[in-house]
Amino acid sequence: MPESRLTVAEVADSLFDFTLRPSQRQAVGAVVAGRDALAVLPTGSGKSAIYQVAGLSLGGLTLVVSPLIALQRDQIRSLAGRRYGSGRTVGAALLNSAQKGHERQDTLSRISRGDLDFLLVGPEQLTNSETRAAVRCGARGIGLFVVDEAHLVSEWGQEFRPEYLRLTDAVTEFGRPPVLALTATASPAVQADITRRLDMRSAEVVVADFDRPNISLAVRRTQPSEPEARALDDRCVDVLIQQDTPALVYALTRARCASLAGRLRLDAFEVAPYHAGMAARERSEVQDAFFSGRLDVVVATSAFGLGIDKPDIRSVVHAGVPGSIDDYYQEIGRAGRDGEPAAAVLVHDPRTIRIPRSLAARTHLGEETLHDVVDALENAGCRIEVADLVRSAEASARAVDRVVNELAELGFIGLSGSGAHRVVEPARHPAPADLTRQLVEKDARRQAVLASRLDAARQYAESARCRRAELLSYFGEDYAPPCGNCDNDHEARAASAPRPTVSGGVPVRHRLWGEGRLLSRDDHELLVYFTSVGYRHLTASTLESGILQRR
């Protein structure tokens, strides 16, 4: 007997006892009507409520792809056992690599019986044939496919996850249900990348206001006369002494995390470093201590990121310009989630720009490496495991993995299995030289865009303009300064700074760089995103000269 469906209003009222906000209603309405949707909403705007209400309204099983086990557990705790409608109980469970065998089997049995409304999985689970078969053959079909933290789908997102590239295969296998992508931050370029990589069809893109007015914005420069490391540490300590805690400090390297934590300890802060080089147990202990209030400060790399939902963080300090405004916005967004005043301070030393630049350069694949991998594929002639490809190409596993993922995205190969046992299967057979050429061109475009993203972050750090207007223009928002809550406005420099006269998102074409999108403009400068080369700051005269034209 088919399950009776409730209206969106009925589900929201009974499950949450509140009315959905306009942005939530727009996203829910799209997927309930059978359309795909991307919702870009700041933390605290109720992204989880969108998939929960939409999923229960649609009926069937809602499959939620979530990147972190901690996130999955938090969402299960908030869902399992809740009641909605006329006394129905929500069934929710998770599947991940940390589960014991009997826990996994219990979840698989519940899928088979149709006991679940929501199943939360890591993306790697969808490369597991047992998981996919259980979901495909379960008593309830997939009513909604959800991708949480969807910026991870984009190669321009904060920390690209290659396994996300294969989600479209799962969507197709599960009967092509509506796809809902959720993230707290995505520039126009990242939004386009998400909808393209998830193969979303006529997607409803819902973007809430990116402004977080309770967060003050400031940049503090180091003393160039001092050695770089000492100058950066000294300035960060000075800043933290003036800020409220709890505080997060983001450093560019693991060594800087340890150094800065040691300095802050000398100044009587309860502080600990956090980075991917630490053992998992150590990282958990630091996170627990920070959440419980036993630490004033955590000095971290970007490894301390997703899933950090401590509402009372009062300050976020960056020890050096990060690799992009996307990263910066995501990280400062962890401050002031309780709505109370908070501060975001970027400590800028121009000498540290080389660090994110060198990190970006690590993604570069030399032409020789590309030739080696393509030749190894050609010599194999048929199916080959990625682990065997690494050996035959005599290249690093990281490089081979990158090449394989990019060839799969270009449609030249197919992939099956998971991990090192993934199997490469040729799908098309172009000449090796053509394959290598396309990979070289793709790598060059990627390096150009990464460089432009770093340039935009440095521009923010060195701007004399209202910080909020500068930051929001990157996301295509037209904000009229002054905001009154940034260092440049406080110093009255914004009084003489030019004001935007064109709203974001205007389609343009450049004589050399092709299609783009004008994000902001003032009397002297334009900020444009180009598909080919990324973000570019141009003089306003390029619009009048014909080099850049509106489409």
Place of tokens 């900020």: 527
As a whole number, mean pLDDT of residues 191-220 equals: 90
Contact 204, 327 (CB under 8 A): no
Q: From its phi and psi, is residue 441 left (phi > 0), alpha (psi between -120 and 50) or beta?
A: alpha
Topology of domain 367-445, per CATH?
Arc Repressor Mutant, subunit A (1.10.10)
Q: Burial code of 142-166, b = ≥16 C-beta within 10 A, e = fewer?
A: bbbbbbbbbbbbbbbbbebbbbbbb
CA 426 to chain centre: 31
3.40.630.30, 3.40.50.300, 2.60.200.30, 1.10.730.10: CATH of 210-352: 3.40.50.300
What does the pLDDT read at residue 264?
94
Please report which confidence band the pLDDT of residue 551 belongs to, taking 50, 70 and 90 as the band edges.
Answer: confident
As a whole number, mean pLDDT of residues 272-285 equals: 87
What does the pLDDT read at residue 419?
57
Place of tokens 């502080």: 271
Edge-to-edge strands of the sheet including 61-65? 92-95, 118-121, 61-65, 142-147, 179-183, 37-40, 204-207
**Do 367-445 and 8-207 have the same topology in CATH?**
no
Selection from 448, 451, 460, 457 nearest residue 513 by Cα: 448
- Report phi then psi at 535, rounded to 5: -80, 135
Q: Cβ atoms within 10 A of the Cβ of 549, count?
A: 13
Q: Which of 109-113, 125-129, 452-456, 470-474 has the lowest mean pLDDT?
A: 125-129
Percent of the chain topping pLDDT 90: 31
Domain limits of the chain? 8-207, 210-352, 367-445, 464-551
Contact 475, 210 (CB under 8 A): yes
Look up residue 141 and give its amino acid: G
Place of tokens 């800028």: 348
Asked if pLDDT for residue 297 goes beyond 80, the answer is: yes
Please report which confidence band the pLDDT of residue 257 belongs to, taking 50, 70 and 90 as the band edges.
Answer: very high
Place of tokens 């997927």: 31
Selection from 149, 136, 118, 147 nearest residue 53 by Cα: 118
Residue 166 gets which letter from DSSP? G
Alpha helices, H only, 129-187 = 129-136, 167-173
Q: What is the pLDDT of residues 423-449, one digit of tens each?
A: 777 766 666 667 777 787 877 777 788
Residues 154, 196, 406, 527: is their CA dihedral positive or negative? negative
What does the pLDDT read at residue 523?
67
As a whole number, mean pLDDT of residues 497-522 equals: 70
Place of tokens 């908070």: 342
Token duo for residue 73: 């557990």
As a whole number, mean pLDDT of residues 37-42 equals: 90
DSSP string, 252-319: SSHHHHHHHHHHHHHTT--EEEE-TTS-HHHHHHHHHHHHHTS-SEEEE-TTS-TT---TT--EEEEE
What does the pLDDT read at residue 158?
44
What is the chain's mean pLDDT, rounded? 83
Contact 402, 362 (CB under 8 A): no
Contact 64, 144 (CB under 8 A): no
Cis before 482? omega within 30: yes
Strand partners, 179: 145
Report the alpha-carbon distance of residue 170 to residue 156 in Å, rounded.
Answer: 23
Residue 340 gets which letter from DSSP? S
Contact 38, 200 (CB under 8 A): yes
Token duo for residue 200: 């979303």
Q: 3-state DSSP call for residue 225?
A: coil
Report the alpha-carbon distance of residue 173 to residue 194 in Å, rounded.
Answer: 20
Q: What angle do the packed helices 467-474 and 325-332 form, to 10 degrees?
A: 120
What does the pLDDT read at residue 342?
96
What does the pLDDT read at residue 318?
96
Q: Name the range with the highest mean pLDDT among 76-80, 341-345, 433-437, 491-495.
A: 341-345
What does the pLDDT read at residue 180?
97
CATH 3.90.700.10 assigned to 8-207: no
Selection from 202, 206, 148 nearest residue 36 by Cα: 202
Contact 351, 379 (CB under 8 A): no
Selection from 168, 151, 178 nearest residue 61 by Cα: 178
What does the pLDDT read at residue 160?
52
Residue 20 gets which letter from DSSP? P
Asked if pLDDT for residue 93 goes beyond 80, the answer is: yes
Tell me whether strands 142-147 and 61-65 are parallel, antiparallel or unpaired.
parallel
Q: Name the range with the highest mean pLDDT among 8-12, 364-368, 379-383, 405-409.
A: 8-12
